[in-house]
Structure 1
Amino acid sequence: MTYSRTSPSRGPGSPMVTGFHDADTGSIQYLVTDPDTRRAALIDTVMSFDPEDASVRTGGVDAILRFAQSEDIVIDWVLDTHPHADHLMASSYLRNKLGKPNGIGEKIKQIADLWRDTYHLPDAFDPDRDFDHLFADGDTFEIGSLPVRVMLSPGHTLGSITYVVGEDAAFVHDTFMQPDAGTSRADFPGGTAEDLWHSLQDILALPEHTRLFVGHDYGNGQRAQPEWESTVVEQRRHNLHIGGGVTKEDFIARREARDKTLALPDRMLHVLQMNLRAGRPPNPEDDGYCYLKIPMNRF
């Protein structure tokens, strides 16, 4: 974690949002707070994972917890938008450390079915065991006094979800990037550019003042610091891939052509085995160590 910034509440019904940028993966982690009650949720938190030696560290997410404590913020939820392919989820770690429920979209069950075959681990994943809440499209809950609505937003994965919090904030994960960077890839198993198009349109149908908080920023060589906040109207007008009236057909062609040039994330085959368990590693073997299984020649 190298950089953080807070987007203040705009008034009644508007959350305070602090984003924490994970430099190793370009991921944004969010602390979403109801300013009236000081109750909060964490969204898409990151455990540091080094693919060179498969070591795991908790320093970044622990720093977020210290920040929340220093601001008298009480965390009630540990949420993810999808099982990430580029970073190790801190969901299980935080669930145990805080004693608070974790959640993700219900279609993680279908994603797990896809990856059981890839890893040849037929009994490896049990989302009902590892997550307290499996959210369906349209489900609602609260962060403090703020209402939260769940939107199914497939494309990047078949089960990605968006959290719409209060009157003016949506956590749109790997759908949009910042307007000057476009959109996220849609070539992982179960993802499609056509599904991503429809998810983008659903997000753009939110009120134009809605703040959109994205899942990643890798920079563009011109910004002094990473960015992760825009609005619906900014994305409608200026998004590199979809702004200004781009047709569905042109978007799909451009997205698919771009995806063909992208390598797999360097952590993907390691971390998905754990992220489909909420970030929990496989059970230790009789020597006390955990082991990951990496498929060869599958991609």
Structure 2
Amino acid sequence: MHPIIHPVYEPTTGSWQYIVVCSTTNEAAIIDPVLDFDPSTATISTASADTLLKVVSSKGYRVRYLLETHAHADHLTASFYLQQTLLQQEPPHHPEICIGNNIRQVQETVRLAYDIPTDELSQSDFDHLFADGAQFPLGQLTVSVLALPGHTPDHIGYCIGPNVFTGDSIFNPDVGSARCDFPGGDARVLYRSMKRLLALPGEWRLYTGHDYPPTTTSSTGAGGEPPRDPVAFVTVAEQRERNKHAKLESNEEEFVRWRSERDRSLREPRLLHQALQVNVRAGRLPRRTDNGLVLLGYSVRFPEILVAGG
């Protein structure tokens, strides 16, 4: 059985969000939803998430799952907002927020980096933590979990029929691969995750978590790719043939060397600090201060002499 798939592109962060539906029962899952954040004004809005809710409402879908592929470092997740909004509808939906079980490692790393109080960060922020090979129902469909670490240690993909929602474990062929320099990231592990995907049947579709298409002739990629619109998926066969980093004739050692050098030259993601602190909480914001403010900190490295006085 094939699911109904609604890809929804968020252009500010280049993110693909997906609504995946069992056509028999109208039971739905939302994958990697985006909560809008403007760092210049420190304001959050829900326009992208509300677009997803409009599709759900207009089609009469019932959302059972909010599925995260990993704790994103480039956008805030809207999972908690969507969960709370859907719970208040009539009749209420009861969606569960889910992620890979290695989120525990990421939570601890982020807790230490940003000095998050222990009682503010709990594994129970997520309703389900999935291991590699786990399966669960979506209406009459079966969802299978694939561990796809490398970009982050908690990264997983969701296989639904002949479709895999890959998050950032592989990008479209002219983009290639994601960075691996976050804590717990590993270029060699990512390469092997990409090859795991490319071993799937050739006609299967790989739905990516981001796309960064060249939009003008002046912004073409290193290979001189022509301008194009964002693309949600390509087939496994297309990735095997054309992925600039992992196609059939690629070499693991060359990839690891290139990816490591490339990552050292990259700036940190624009929303890194805000995204990590929210996303390890499944989309919840930090506790308000006595003045009613929500504070998101920065993790800063500086010479020890600067803090010698305490």
TM-score where L is the length of structure 2: 0.89
Please say if residues 44 and 79 of structure 1, whose CA atoms lie closer than 8 Å, have aligned partners that are also in contact.
Answer: yes
Counterparts of 1:200-211 in structure 2, within 5 Å, are: 200-211=194-205
Match of 1:181 in 2: 175
Corresponding residue number in structure 2 for 1:248: 252
CA contact (8 A) 2:17 2:32 kept: yes
Residue aligning to 2:293 = 289
Distance 1:232 1:55 in 2: 39
What 5-or-longer segments of structure 2 have no aligned partner?
88-94, 216-225, 303-310
Aligned-residue CA RMSD in angstroms? 1.4
Cα distance in 2 between the residues matched to 1:19 and 1:125? 33
Aligned counterpart in structure 1 of residue 185 of structure 2, from 191, 200, 209: 191
1:155 aligns with 2:150: yes
2:4 to 9, 16, 27: 16
Deviation per residue, 1:161-217 (Å, 9 max, x gap): 010112x10001111111111111111110010110111111112211111000101
Larger Rg: 2
Say whether residues 1:95 and 2:116 are aligned partners.
no
- How many Å apart are 1:127 and its aligned residue? 4.0
Counterpart contact for 1:237–1:243, Cα < 8 Å? yes
Determine if the alignment matches structure 1 residue 74 to structure 2 residue 68.
Answer: no
> In structure 2, how many angstroms separate the alpha carbons of the residues matched to 1:198 and 1:151?
13
Shift of 1:266: 0.8
Aligned residues: 285
Do the aligned residues in 2 keep the contact of 1:181 with 1:220 (CA within 8 Å)?
A: no
- The one-letter code sitting in structure 2 at the alignment partner of 1:140 is Q
Which deviates more, 222-231 or 73-82? 222-231
The TM-score with structure 1 as length reference comes to 0.92
Q: What's 1:111 paired with?
A: 106
Who is 1:7 aligned against?
Answer: none
Which residue of the partner structure matches residue 274 of structure 2? Answer: 270
Q: Is the 8 A contact 2:120 2:286 kept in 1?
A: no
8 Å contact from structure 1 (residues 125, 276) kept in 2: no
1:233 positional shift:
0.8
C-alpha contact 2:79 2:282 (8 A) present in aligned 1: yes
Task: Work out whether residues 214 and 228 of structure 2, in 8 Å CA contact, stay in contact via their aligned partners in 1.
Answer: no
Which residue in 1 is equivalent to 2:43?
55
Is the CA contact (8 Å cut-off) linking 1:106 and 1:134 kept in structure 2? yes
Question: How far is the alpha carbon of 1:125 from its aligned partner?
Answer: 5.3
Point out where structure 1 has 5 or more consecutive residues left out of the alignment. 1-12
Residue 218 of structure 2: aligned partner: none
